[in-house]
Amino acid sequence: MKARARILSALLVALLLTACAGVSSTPDVATIIPEVVAKKGMVASAHPLASQAGLEILKAGGNAIDSAVATAFAIGVVEPNATGIGGEGYMVIYIKGTNTVTSIDYRSRASLNDATGQTWPNAGHRAVAVPGTVAGLAMALEKYGTMSLAQVIEPAVKLAEEGFVVSPTLAGVIADNFKRAMANEYLMSIIAPTGLPLEAGDTLKNPDLAKSLRLIAAEGPGAFYTGTLAKAIADDMRAHDGLIDERDLAEYKAIEREPAKGVYRGYDVVSAPAPVGGFLLIQALNMIENHDISAMGFESATKLHLFAEVLARSFDDYYNVLGDPAFVDVPMKALTSQGYADAKAASIKLDEMTTSYEKVDPNSEHWSTTHLSVVDKGGNMVALTQTLSSFFGAAVAVPGTGIMLNNEMGNFNKKKGSAAYAPGKRMNTTIAPTLVMKDGKAFATLGTPGAMRIVPTLTQIITNLVDYDMGIQQAIEAPRMYCTYLQGPGKTTMNVESFLFPAEEIAKLETLGYKLTKYDERNLFFGGVQGIIIKKGTMYGGADPRRDGAVFGY
């Protein structure tokens, strides 16, 4: 029922957009949501109100960075389970005028206070890492935007103050996380003001968050890191055995980094670098380039098996090499080189499963994340992914501020070597906001939530676009698989949206030895892709029916 409600919601959004932006669909493949077509600007996000906020900024003369920052603040209000100013993120930016790409790392980091030997809880103040969202969005705006912080925050302020209608998706998340939230009285006052969880159709208001956002608009990011909000966060941490203090907040900095770069069948792929997962995507694509997957057929068991083999090899490096560049040397150029990928792919057999790869836990990271993509009339592009880690993060909200805090410290659990915990260190995750270029021109901006499914999902989306010539909506709605660890026949599990694949190909996977976890409808487990592609000066936007995604263009 929840999935059906999400689809109906998305259809209503698509019908609304048809009148102002025009709609196109692929005639030979049916999609639930039609593509949105526009010429001047486009925003794709996980919520229609956030997409609308970004579109308003574009129409007011803002560029893609202005719009992305506005959308990011707004999505933190209307999708509070997945993101917010108590969280973190990463963005990748393309500036057409100078034909340059860059990325901004605003990942959270561990407190500077040493807690070596700690096993980090899933909830509570001890689970919280130093938030980076405000610093990262402010840096992007200052360096590459054209509007003031007050201008781009205003839509989010309005949404927090006036409230918004709770969707079936959000209502389901609130209900599912109600027990976790009960330990924090202030969080309960926001998502369950009557003592019962808000339901679909109810209005969620967060006036305290509106006040916090106004403070940031007036005083800049200092309000969050050294001012009134910093004091409130530090005081709440001290009162509940948290590690974060005033020094942690004051010394936090967003970092501009050289993106991870690769080439796939003539397309330039630009994604987020260490300590996150963009290089895994590039490495997977480099391995796939050794094979003609178009000839294999989109729905073939052989292609799905190849993807499982490729992704397992990519994720080896996630566990063994990736880490915070301030603490470990991460050889990004080597990791994304074609020669390295060719060497890793040499042992792949299309008719046999590899057994030599160590099992990793597919649920070792949480999947409460969100993504947005923006293109402006000048041809600038942004891909931005933000998260709280788990749904509602640490299930901690700071009294009087409306701010919900992340639980990113759990990403250090069970990690060794380059990914191991250290005070002040940024933890690894697989988020991978990604841009794709062709012949020096912008082609696509893409991303998804989904924890360990992020890289597999984006690998499939990019190959759908490049190898199978799908439109963006068709590429998003196409069936997905997930498998990043191989234990041999009878032991390796592949998750697959089986109802969309031919039964005979599913049977072939079982013959190869895969244990299948089958989904009988498009499932949020596989992420929620938001994306835009540009062809001959026209923008085509796609939103994922697996989530409350919406595309707005003009």
CA distances from 391 to 60, 272, 458 (A): 33, 23, 22
Q: How many residues does the chain have?
A: 554
The answer to whether 32 touches 477, Cβ cutoff 8 Å, is yes
Rounded to whole angstroms, the Cα distance separating 486 from 356 reads 7
> Which one is catalytic: 169, 369, 370, 459?
369
The answer to whether 198 touches 166, Cβ cutoff 8 Å, is yes
Q: Is 369 a catalytic residue?
A: yes
Using alpha carbons, select from 104, 99, 97 the residue that is nearest to residue 142: 104
Rounded to whole angstroms, the Cα distance separating 108 from 122 reads 16
- Give the residues across from 495 on adjacent strands: 482, 517
SS3 for 84-99, per residue? CCCCEEEEEEEECCCC
Region of residue 46 (left: phi > 0; alpha: psi -120 to 50; beta: else): alpha
Rounded to whole angstroms, the Cα distance separating 379 from 537 reads 9
Rounded to whole angstroms, the Cα distance separating 460 from 463 reads 5
- Cis peptide bond prior to 275, omega within 30° of 0: yes
**Residues whose CB falls within 8 Å of the CB of residue 2, separated by 6 or more in sequence, listed in order:** 168, 169, 172
- Give the residues across from 540 on adjacent strands: 37, 533
The answer to whether 432 touches 447, Cβ cutoff 8 Å, is yes
Catalytic residues: 369
